[in-house]
Amino acid sequence: EAQVTQNPRYLITVTGKKLTVTCSQNMNHEYMSWYRQDPGLGLRQIYYSMNVEVTDKGDVPEGYKVSRKEKRNFPLILESPSPNQTSLYFCASSFFGRSETQYFGPGTRLLVL
């Protein structure tokens, strides 16, 4: 089944404790991205990757890092999480790039205490 998977689905952590949210897609898509969803703010892009070893900042990149060492994986790293990073995070991928249809993962709900 073609899909985007994320792990973990739920995460509670404390301020300053490094964490990684994994994302993997099995559709051979070159483009992958991360969004955060907050009430009243919709979907905001954090980082995106056009291909392996090619990443770029989205609209809200502060406090986040990403890497793209393999085509199928695009982990999101929070090196020192803060409470304002409490949010619902979505990974997405696309065959044709950032301006075309995105396929979203199921989401990761993060609470930073």
13 closest CA partner among 92, 90, 104, 79: 79
Q: In Å, how far are 11, 35, 36, 44, 66 from 40, measured between CA atoms? A: 22, 14, 12, 11, 25
x-marked contacts with another protein along 33-72 as a string, rule CB under 8 A: -------xxxx-x---------------------------
Q: For tokens 């044709």, what's the residue? A: 96
| Least distance to another protein, CB of residue 93, Å | 11
- Is residue 105 involved in binding another protein (CB under 8 A)? yes
- Is residue 106 involved in binding another protein (CB under 8 A)? yes
Distance of CA 43 to the CA centre of its chain: 12
Which of 4, 46, 76, 110 touches another protein (CB under 8 A)? 4
Q: Which of residues 82-101 bind another protein (CB under 8 A)?
A: 90, 92, 96-101
